[in-house]
C-alpha cells in the first residue's frame, strides 16, 4: 500500500493542491485537505475500484467543503491571498505583469458563484473533461456544460469591465 500511496501522491498531489486552493483559497488549508484525503485513502476499508484520481478529487472536495463550513461557523472567512504553486523562471517585471493579470483574473473569478468557480477551474486549471468534472462534483454532464458556459460568459464580462473595455 505504501508504494501505491507514494505513486498516487507523486502523480496527483500538485493538481489536488491547486484544486483545493480554488475552493478554500488558503495554501495551508489546501495542504491539510489534500493530506487528509491521502490519509483517508490509507484508512479506507473499501477497496477503491476504478479511478483513484476521481475518488481523491471527491474526497479533497468534501474535505475542503468541511473546512469552509467550520470556518464559516467560526466567522473566520475572509478574502484570501493568492499563493502560486507553480515556480517561475522569469524576470521580476514579467512576474509583476503576470501577477497583475492573475490578480485581475482572481478578483473576477472570486465574484463568480462558488459552484461556477469550481467547475470552471476544474476545466481550465486541471484540464478535466466534462465527465471527470461530473464525477468529481456530482453534477450531470449536461449541467457541467451549462455551468461552464455561464461561468465563462460571466467571467469574460467581469474581466472586460475590470480592464475598462466594453
Reading phi first (left if > 0) and then psi (alpha if -120 to 50, else beta), residue 75 is in left
**Region 67-74 average pLDDT:** 74
Phi-psi label, residue 49: left if phi above 0, alpha if psi -120 to 50, beta otherwise:
beta
Burial of 89 (C-beta count, 10 Å sphere; 0-12/13-18/19+): exposed
- Maximum mean pLDDT: which of 71-75, 109-113, 145-149: 145-149
The predicted structure's pLDDT at residue 8: 79
Cα–Cα distances (Å) from 160 to 77, 101, 105, 151, in that order, read 28, 12, 10, 14
Mean pLDDT (whole number) for 43-62:
75
pLDDT exceeds 50 at position 125 = yes
Q: How many angstroms separate the first and last alpha carbons of the chain?
A: 55
How many CB atoms lie under 10 A from the CB of residue 126? 16
Phi and psi of 61, rounded to 5°? -60, -45
Work out the average pLDDT over 148-160.
91
pLDDT, tens digit, for every residue of 79-101?
A: 333 333 333 344 444 444 555 67
Set out the domains of the chain in order of their start, with CATH numbers: 1-78 (1.10.1740), 91-166 (1.10.10.10)
Residue range 136-152: mean pLDDT, rounded: 93
Global confidence as pTM: 0.54
CA dihedral in degrees (83, 86, 91, 97; nearest 10)?
-50
pLDDT reading at 55 higher than 60:
yes
- Structure confidence at residue 85 (pLDDT): 33
Phi, psi of 92 (to 5 degrees): -55, -40
- In this predicted structure, what is the pLDDT of residue 90? 45
Q: 48: which 3 cell numbers?
A: 477503491
Residue 77 has pLDDT above 80, yes or no: no
Amino acid at each position: 500500500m505504501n508504494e501505491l500511496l507514494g505513486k498516487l501522491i507523486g502523480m496527483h498531489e500538485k493538481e489536488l493542491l491547486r484544486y483545493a486552493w480554488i475552493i478554500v483559497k488558503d495554501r495551508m488549508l489546501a495542504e491539510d485537505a489534500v493530506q487528509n484525503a491521502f490519509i483517508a485513502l490509507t484508512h479506507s476499508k473499501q477497496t477503491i475500484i476504478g479511478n483513484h484520481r476521481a475518488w481523491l478529487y471527491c474526497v479533497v472536495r468534501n474535505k475542503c467543503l468541511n473546512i469552509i463550513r467550520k470556518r464559516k461557523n467560526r466567522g473566520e472567512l475572509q478574502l484570501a491571498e493568492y499563493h502560486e504553486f507553480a515556480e517561475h523562471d522569469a524576470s521580476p517585471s514579467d512576474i509583476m505583469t503576470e501577477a497583475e493579470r492573475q490578480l485581475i483574473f482572481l478578483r473576477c473569478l472570486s465574484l463568480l458563484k462558488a459552484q461556477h468557480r469550481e467547475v470552471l477551474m476544474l476545466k481550465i486549471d486541471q484540464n478535466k473533461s466534462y465527465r471527470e468534472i461530473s464525477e468529481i462534483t456530482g453534477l450531470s454532464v449536461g449541467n457541467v456544460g451549462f455551468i461552464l458556459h455561464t461561468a465563462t460568459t460571466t467571467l469574460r464580462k467581469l474581466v472586460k469591465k475590470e480592464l475598462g473595455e466594453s
